[in-house]
Amino acid sequence: MKALVYHGPGKKAWEEKPRPAIQEETDAIVRIAETTICGTDLHIMKGDVPTVTDGRTLGHEGVGIIEKAGKSVMNFKKGDRVLISCITSCGKCEPCKKGMYSHCENGGWMLGNTIDGTQAEFVRIPYADTSLYHAPEKVSDDALCMLSDIFPTGFECGVLNGRIKPGDVVAIVGSGPIGLASLLTSKFYSPSEIVMIDVDDGRLEAAKELGATRTINSSDGNAADRVMELTDGKGVDVAIEAVGIPATFDICQSIIAVGGHIANIGVFGQSVDLHMENLWSRNITLTTRLVDTVTTSMLLKSVEAGTLHPERLVTHHFPLSDIQKAYDTFSRAKEEKALKVVLENK
Ligand SMILES: [Zn+2]
Ligand SMILES: [Zn+2]
Residue-wise DSSP of 11-29: -EEEEE-PPP---STT-EE
Whether 216 has a pLDDT exceeding 90, the answer reads yes
Distance 92 CA to ligand 2 centre (A): 5
Distance 76 CA to ligand 2 centre (A): 19
In this structure, which ligand is nearest to the CA of 41? 1
3-state helix, strand, coil in the chain (%, to 5): 35, 25, 40
In this structure, which ligand is nearest to the CA of 90? 2
- CA nearest to 102, candidates 115, 85, 120: 85
pLDDT for res 181: 98
pLDDT for res 346: 86
pLDDT for res 167: 98
What CATH topology corresponds to 2-149+292-344?
Quinone Oxidoreductase; Chain A, domain 1 (3.90.180)
Distance 297 CA to ligand 2 centre (A): 18
* pLDDT tens readout for residues 42-87: 999 999 899 999 999 999 999 999 999 999 999 999 999 999 999 9
CB atoms within 10 A of CB 268: 15
pLDDT for res 279: 97
Percent share of the chain, pLDDT over 70: 100
CATH of 152-287, one of 1.10.3720.10, 3.10.20.30, 3.40.50.720, 3.30.110.30: 3.40.50.720
Distance 178 CA to ligand 1 centre (A): 9
Q: Are 48 and 9 in contact (CB under 8 A)?
A: no
Q: Are 56 and 5 in contact (CB under 8 A)?
A: yes
Encoded amino acid at 197, one letter: I
| Ligand 1 is an ion; residues with CB less than 5 A from it | 38, 40, 149
Distance CA 18, CA 2 (A): 8
CB-based burial of residue 25 (10 Å sphere; 0-12 exposed, 13-18 middle, 19+ buried)?
A: exposed
Distance 26 CA to ligand 2 centre (A): 13
In this structure, which ligand is nearest to the CA of 49? 1
**Residue spans per domain, the chain:** 2-149+292-344, 152-287
Span 173-199, average pLDDT: 98
Span 229-245, average pLDDT: 97
Distance 38 CA to ligand 1 centre (A): 4
In this structure, which ligand is nearest to the CA of 93? 2
Distance 225 CA to ligand 1 centre (A): 32
Distance CA 233, CA 292 (A): 35
Distance 150 CA to ligand 1 centre (A): 6
* pLDDT tens readout for residues 238-266: 999 999 999 999 999 999 999 999 999 99
CB-based burial of residue 153 (10 Å sphere; 0-12 exposed, 13-18 middle, 19+ buried)?
A: buried
pTM of the full predicted structure?
0.96
Whether 269 has a pLDDT exceeding 90, the answer reads no
Distance 259 CA to ligand 1 centre (A): 31
Span 182-186, average pLDDT: 98
Whether 324 has a pLDDT exceeding 90, the answer reads yes
Whether 201 has a pLDDT exceeding 90, the answer reads yes
Query: What is the CA 329 to chain-centroid distance, rounded?
Result: 19
In this structure, which ligand is nearest to the CA of 42? 1
Distance 9 CA to ligand 1 centre (A): 18
Average pLDDT, the chain: 97
